[in-house]
Amino acid sequence: TEVRSVPAPLDLTKAKWQLSVEDWQPANPYDTTFGAAAAETRKTQIEMTLDGLKAWPEIPQLQNVSGLGTYTTTVDLPAGWSSANGAVLSLGEVFDTFTLTVNGQAVPIEQLAAAADIGRYLKAGRNSITVRVATTLNNRLAKIDEGVRNRGLVQPYGLVGPVVLTPQIQPPVW
């Protein structure tokens, strides 16, 4: 089989990413309520554009935030791109659990390897990649709870990368 050249991998780590964060905070003063009132949560939206990925504690607006982060970027593929092309998306480091959507379609992704074969979800032209990350509540608690703060464990939440899209050639099966 003659295989044409494969496009170079695309490093999306330094790309423009839209980040929408749902910041989970206690609705009532943390140490003064009990029962159902202690479990009430206020969710505040934070919207931003990132010129490259980094952990939440490195972003001033997100230093002590816990909750859900939705990252979206686009990648343009050449007009010759077809279903015969394959591609693997590697997310690199992601803290904590996450989901992946490509062009509006949910993509199964290996949580430990943080990689997925996304070739069948891509098309020629503009493609949207969305990663939704759910964090633990540790970083919010580190701000409001002395015991957690004294442990000194701030977690590097978010999509950190490197995020790399590696095109592959998949010759037709006869």
Q: pLDDT for 87-125, tens place per residue?
A: 999 999 999 899 999 999 999 998 899 999 999 999 999
Q: What is the pLDDT of residue 40?
A: 85
Residue 174 has pLDDT above 50, yes or no: no
pTM: 0.89
pLDDT at 47 over 90: yes
pLDDT above 60: residue 138: yes
User: In the predicted model, what is the mean pLDDT of residues 129-142?
Assistant: 90
| Residue 159 structure tokens | 């999509």
pLDDT score for 170: 62
> Parallel, antiparallel, or unpaired for β 10-11 and 164-169?
antiparallel
Choose between 107 and 174: higher pLDDT.
107
Nearest residue to 161 via CA among 12, 21, 9: 12
Total residue count of the chain as it appears in this document: 174
Give, in degrees to the nearest 5, the angle at Cα 24 between 55 and 38: 140
Strands 97-102 and 125-134: antiparallel
C-alpha 17 chain-centroid distance = 10
What local confidence, expressed as pLDDT, does residue 99 receive? 97
pLDDT of residue 38: 82
